[in-house]
A = this chain, B = another copy of it.
């Protein structure tokens, strides 16, 4: 009986551990869904790894910035793990550019630009299976509508609309790492990529 009980416990534990790994695998590989050529709006990205915040305010772009205004940019955690270990972008990477308005230009800390409200959402995905013909296998999507709501699904933007500029001007595998200190400092630097392990602000490579 004791043996049977142990066996049952062990089997239950194996099942439980298997479920844990299955759940983790599901989360890691289920970051985006493309159906009938349309990408469903990704979720959960504010818990991914932040890589940098470019700012193109309307008041510095004749009242109409191409990408208004703050761009909070994230990379999925699985891709981040490969980036910090190997310095390369995995097939299946997804980046999120969440757009935020300028809320104010004055604060107790001084004059500047301070983040206001969410106004849009743009996505890039590197996926050789879905986008074999796109340069670098990167495709680009916008879920932005009127600055108050987001689309539920959307198709990839034409190659010349986004990819061409990334191909020509982005510093590393179609990513504008020249504006993303987290990715620049973290490329292949292992645990130092996560911050604070090295007193030198630019980690040794």
Contacts and interface: CB of A to CB of B under 8 A. Distances in A.
Interface of A: 3, 6-7, 9-10, 13-14, 17, 41-47, 49-50, 52-57, 60-61, 65-67, 70-72, 74, 77, 80, 96, 98, 100, 103-104, 107-121, 147-152, 165, 169, 176, 178-182, 185-186, 191, 193-197, 199-202
A98 B17 contact: no
Given A194-B46, A201-B147, A201-B149, A115 B9 contact: no
Contacts of A196: 41-45, 121, 150
A6 to B, nearest CB: 6
Contact of A114 (B55, B110, B193): B55
A193 B46 CA distance: 8
A194 B47 contact: yes
B199 A109 contact: no
A103 B57 contact: no
A118 B119 CA distance: 28
A178 to B, nearest CB: 7
Copies of this protein in the assembly total 2
Contacts of A77: 47
A109 to B, nearest CB: 5
Closest 7 CB pairs of A and B: A50-B50, A43-B196, A10-B10, A56-B112, A53-B53, A56-B110, A46-B195
Given A10-B9, A56-B111, A114-B55, A119 B43 contact: no
A46 B50 contact: yes
Contacts of A149: 199-201
Contact of A109 (B14, B43, B54): B54
A44 to B, nearest CB: 4
